[in-house]
Structure 1
Amino acid sequence: MEESPLPVAERGPADTLLRVGKAYSMTDPGRIHRAVAIRDGRIIATSSSPDGLDSLQGTRTEVVDDPGLVVFPAFNDTHNHQLWASRDLDHVSLESARDIADVVERLRLRAAVTPPGEWVVSSRCWHETHLKEERLPTASELDAASTEHPICVQRGGHVMVVNSRALALAGFGRDVPDPERGTVVRDANGVPTGLLIEPGAVEPVRRLLPQLAPERQVELLARQCAEYNARGIGVVRDPGLLVDEMEVYQRLWEQGRLTTRSRVMFWIMPDASVEEKLAFIDSWAVRSGYGDDLLKIWGFKFMMDGGVEGAHLCEPYANNPAYHGHAFWEPGDFERLVDRAVSRGWKVGCHAVGDAAVERVLGTYERVLRRRPQTPPGSLVIEHAFLVNADQRARAVRAGIGITVQHPLLFSLGGNLLRYWGEQRTREVMPVRAWLDEGAMVAAGSDCNVSFFDPLLSIWGLVTRGTRTAGVQGPEHVVSRYDALRLYTAAGAALLGESANLGTIEQGRLADLVAFRTDLIECPVDDLPELAPAATLVGGLPVHDPEGLLGTVTRE
């Protein structure tokens, strides 16, 4: 028996005993268990023999004896807009739309059952390069769905297209200048086409969208958790809530229906003065780490630049030599806020996609860490870090700065990356192999609902660098199957600062597990996106169990 320092009598019997084909510990590639014992939501023992823990079986122990199961720690998605994604469940799904006519028809059908004057809104998780035309619709094309309804077609977190009625409601006209930190795309005559890019242009529309009732938001969040559990996700770091949105999480937590361990971050956006934002930071009577094993505050979230269409680049865009994207924070203002947050015990994550944005964030972090050398490693994180050079990577590693990467973004956005950034920069996006070789604190996620949340699609992408429409990009940055799985398990726990609790199958860790009928390490790589878990456990309890493997294990 392994990892069992206490006598059996002192530990008592297990609640659940798993005898399986393989259970990858994710502590090192060769360490594989055949038995795992769980009590009170935690792993109490492991063994390399399937019968090595039989002494922990009591009269009420649930035994799963199935040599066909291959078990991993449940997946940690370290950058997933879980609450936003849940709201998409009420919106018009465009994920499988084939062309612009299909998009318009789906919106028309929703408008037909929506009272005139009310909004028709699409989901975010889709991309125009997946359409036959490989472009976004225009306001006039959306008008064919309805002119009696304002229509908002969301695409990811940085782009939307609206119809003529919505343009008018938002106040965007021919003679209205572009807002700060945003672009209203116009035709040759200066008339808005309906395409809005980055927060300054997008937020005036978002503020007009109807708000869901709290009860409805709670139900949608519960459904989203269940969808994640069905794909093996046990932990989500939700990077960006407004303060009042925390109530949705708390209500679900109070009802005992929060089935993903949720690590939340609160927005600090450049929509007010620096003094007001400093006061916001000072107003909190709690700090990072507040909460329990299920629901916990991770930190604050900043944005330094936009997405592929608005990232702050050192060199101009391939399709627009006069354009370098947007930077949302002045360096001095950003540094004051990050320093104040760190001084009060807060972790900080900052979205930075372009290399100029990464440089601005990295430089700020370095100066804050020199000023506050006792700050624990991983307290400051760069989210995405699409473009980084070798010097920037070395500096991030030396400073203990965390990095989150999301291959689903490259999978979805590959076509636009080629168009906006060119071939060379597209190949260099998210150099995960280099990050790992150089010893970075790096972990993986999805950036759902900007892109798709399925961990196995992401793991396939990390191993192949494949995309949906742009082929393989940057094959020199592929990682091994084991490393890709580690980025979603043990490395995710390390970035969260919770390695003692999560991410590995070891004694004392929370029993967050996912079981498959196929070995993810050894199966054909292109099978990965098609595989589905046989069961997912969070805290030893089945949150997804279509085969009824743990039928008698229930919540109190």
Structure 2
Amino acid sequence: MTYVGEDAVARTMAGPAVPVIDAGRRRVVPGLIDGHTHFVRAGLTWNDEVQWGREPTLAGALERIAEAAAERPPGTWIKVIGGWHPEQFAERRAPTREELDRSAPDHPVFVQLGYSWGLLSTAALRAVDLGKTAAEGLDAGAVDPSGVLRGMAAMRWLYWQLPVPSPEEQVASTAAASLAFSAAGITGLIDGGGANTGPDVYSALYETWRRGLLTVRVRTTVHASRPHAEPEELPGYLRYLAPGFGDDMLRVLGMGEIIHYNVHDGFSRSPDLSEGSLEALYSTFADCARRGWPVQIHAIRADTIEAIVGLWERLDSEIPLAPLRWAIVHGEGMSRATVGRMARLGAGVLVPAMLRFEGEELIEAWGEEAVLQAPPLRALLDAGVPVGGGTDAMRVASYRPFTAMHWYVSGREIGGRRIRAADNLLTRAEALRICTGGSAWFSFEEHQRGRLEPGLRGDLVVLDKDYFTVPEDEIPGIGAELTVVGGVPVWAGPAFR
């Protein structure tokens, strides 16, 4: 950007040969940066999936399944891999197996709700091997003969049996996901890796980049593909990759989100915080610090967060961590005392809006009082701790960034219940800031992206509704009319086509 200000001055500076786009008095904001999402994993199968995130009724969602079935050969899988919630539907419920069967009788259908619940249609039950459940060591009831799946292990059991798209299909799918993110107003993102993503999943992303098909700036964090693979895969990353490798559209950032699987916690899932486990984690942290790697580690529970911060304080006495901008991802259970420790370390917190979908589940696990400050957004900002916003899409949240901003502003889960305290809500300006310049800090780009200022990259979004004036309950539905990356339009809605 060379100038931000009055039209007349801008036209004079541009001269007669430069094309002019009139935004028509629509709201223009900096390009949105999703500080924690799972774009790489979602991109591999995007074209195989049906998106339910914007469907207001279950009937409409089932119609999308029927439409997909009409377009695809019989026997082809149809999948809804997260990004929706029963509370968004007028019917306030999930589908039944019989409804999936009626919508697509000749296609295996799988519908996933976060990591807590999934449903296989009758055709899908015939296509998978239920006998594998014993071999995988799943708990009783994790995979029910009725088609219901429960828990992350059950989802992983199914993923390993699903057909894998060809390399060309994965590239086309990743390019399509990129355009969908652009249509939502996203100009950049930090990919958090995620369960089942390891060294083998990045080929499609890099090929999409080489072909010039990426429309969003992607910053990758990497981690081991599965439990017990850390000793083999993490040293390989450290040996053969380097933070900063790539260009403005695709760049390696660091290590994350799952550093060691046995310390990967959940609302009710306790991590292994034994001395041996923490010493192994400390060793990995030390290797990352010595090689100058940023780290972004998933931690939800208070005990997990405090253990990790303790390891960082121990390491910081040997290798200063502030220049590396290490971060906790999630941080729902972070105490005010730990907020102060984070500030002293120069570390940040990425706070994806997962609780918009899973807030009721956290209340069930922790109680209403504990969730009022989960995560402690106001305390973090007041302490000067860098905060980045994001969605945590696709399996546990929508990829649309204004759903996250609605959560920061309102504190309401998707059913409409306010579960965060009034003193822990953000203003609309603050929510926009953490989803632009706030997230840019975590990739060392706060002086390049995230604001509309001369000298910064030309990443901006023309919104289809005015974020600052629409009623609060309309914020989640906001999208882009025009998305510009590096001064080049990458997506245009009807008003600009």
Alpha-carbon distance in 2 for matches of 1:78, 1:145: 36
Q: Does 2:444 correspond to 1:500?
A: no
1:208 is aligned, of 145, 149, 161, to 161
Partner AA of 1:531 in structure 2:
I
Displacement of 1:344:
1.7
User: In 2 relative to 1, CA 336–152 (structure 1 residues): closer, same or farther, beyond 3 Å?
Assistant: farther
User: In 2 relative to 1, CA 210–541 (structure 1 residues): closer, same or farther, beyond 3 Å?
Assistant: same
- Paired position in structure 2 for 1:126: 84
Helix, strand or coil for the counterpart of 1:387?
Answer: coil
Partner AA of 1:227 in structure 2:
A
Q: Does 2:225 correspond to 1:225?
A: no
After superposition, the CA RMSD in angstroms is 3.6
Q: Does 2:117 correspond to 1:171?
A: no
Displacement of 1:235:
0.4
User: In 2 relative to 1, CA 361–108 (structure 1 residues): closer, same or farther, beyond 3 Å?
Assistant: farther
1:197 is aligned, of 118, 141, 151, to 151
CA contact (8 A) 1:76 1:235 kept: yes
1:546 is aligned, of 488, 493, 496, to 493
CA contact (8 A) 1:236 1:263 kept: yes
Q: Does 2:323 correspond to 1:369?
A: no
Displacement of 1:109:
8.1
Task: After superposing the two structures, state which structure 1 stretch, 88-97 or 415-424, moved more.
Answer: 88-97
Q: Does 2:359 correspond to 1:414?
A: yes
1:436-458 Cα distance to aligned partner (Å, 9 max, x none): 11211111011111211222222
User: In 2 relative to 1, CA 197–294 (structure 1 residues): closer, same or farther, beyond 3 Å?
Assistant: same
Q: How many residue pairs end up in the alignment?
A: 482
User: In 2 relative to 1, CA 491–375 (structure 1 residues): closer, same or farther, beyond 3 Å?
Assistant: closer
Alpha-carbon distance in 2 for matches of 1:65, 1:113: 41
CA contact (8 A) 1:104 1:142 kept: no
- Paired position in structure 2 for 1:14: none
2:4 is aligned, of 46, 49, 73, to 46
Q: Does 2:195 correspond to 1:238?
A: no
Partner AA of 1:290 in structure 2:
F
CA contact (8 A) 2:136 2:157 kept: no
Percentage identity across aligned positions? Answer: 25
- Paired position in structure 2 for 1:262: 218
Partner AA of 1:499 in structure 2:
E
Alpha-carbon distance in 1 for matches of 2:447, 2:343: 22
1:276 is aligned, of 221, 228, 232, to 232
CA contact (8 A) 2:69 2:104 kept: no
Alpha-carbon distance in 1 for matches of 2:477, 2:91: 27
Alpha-carbon distance in 1 for matches of 2:141, 2:63: 20
Alpha-carbon distance in 1 for matches of 2:98, 2:376: 40
1:308-354 Cα distance to aligned partner (Å, 9 max, x none): xx9446xxxxxxxxxx4142672222221222122222222111222
What is the TM-score of this pair, normalised by structure 1? Answer: 0.76
2:253 is aligned, of 269, 294, 298, to 298
CA contact (8 A) 1:164 1:194 kept: no
Task: After superposing the two structures, state which structure 1 stretch, 381-390 or 95-104, moved more.
Answer: 95-104
What is the TM-score of this pair, normalised by structure 2? Answer: 0.84
Alpha-carbon distance in 2 for matches of 1:109, 1:328: 43
2:19 is aligned, of 28, 51, 62, to 62
CA contact (8 A) 1:443 1:487 kept: yes
Structure whose CA Rg is larger: 1
CA contact (8 A) 2:115 2:150 kept: no
Displacement of 1:503:
0.7
Alpha-carbon distance in 1 for matches of 2:252, 2:188: 13
- Richer in strand (by share): 1
Q: Which residues in structure 2 correspond to 1:95-494 (within 5 Å)?
A: 95=53, 96=55, 106=65, 110=69, 115=74, 119-128=77-86, 152-156=110-114, 160-162=118-120, 165=126, 168-169=129-130, 171-173=132-134, 178-179=137-138, 183-185=139-141, 194-198=148-152, 200-240=153-193, 241-269=197-225, 271-272=227-228, 274-284=230-240, 286-303=241-258, 311-312=265-266, 324-327=268-271, 330-373=277-320, 376-378=323-325, 380-407=326-353, 409-449=354-394, 450-469=396-415, 471-474=417-420, 475-494=422-441
CA contact (8 A) 2:348 2:387 kept: yes
Partner AA of 1:413 in structure 2:
E
- Paired position in structure 2 for 1:85: 42
Q: Which runs of 5+ in 2 are unaligned?
A: none
Helix, strand or coil for the counterpart of 2:244?
Answer: coil
CA contact (8 A) 2:321 2:345 kept: no
1:375-423 Cα distance to aligned partner (Å, 9 max, x none): 5151x2111112211112111121122211122x222123333334332
User: In 2 relative to 1, CA 134–375 (structure 1 residues): closer, same or farther, beyond 3 Å?
Assistant: same
Displacement of 1:88:
3.8
Q: Which has the higher contact order (CA 8 A, sep 6+)?
A: 2
CA contact (8 A) 1:125 1:155 kept: yes
1:240-291 Cα distance to aligned partner (Å, 9 max, x none): 153233221222222222110111122225522553245323431x311111
User: In 2 relative to 1, CA 90–376 (structure 1 residues): closer, same or farther, beyond 3 Å?
Assistant: same
Helix, strand or coil for the counterpart of 2:370?
Answer: helix
Alpha-carbon distance in 2 for matches of 1:545, 1:113: 28
Partner AA of 1:327 in structure 2:
P
CA contact (8 A) 1:304 1:361 kept: no
Displacement of 1:374:
5.6
Q: Which runs of 5+ in 1 are unaligned?
A: 1-42, 314-323, 552-556
CA contact (8 A) 1:138 1:195 kept: no
Partner AA of 1:171 in structure 2:
K
Partner AA of 2:184 in structure 1:
R
Alpha-carbon distance in 1 for matches of 2:289, 2:117: 31
Helix, strand or coil for the counterpart of 1:283?
Answer: helix
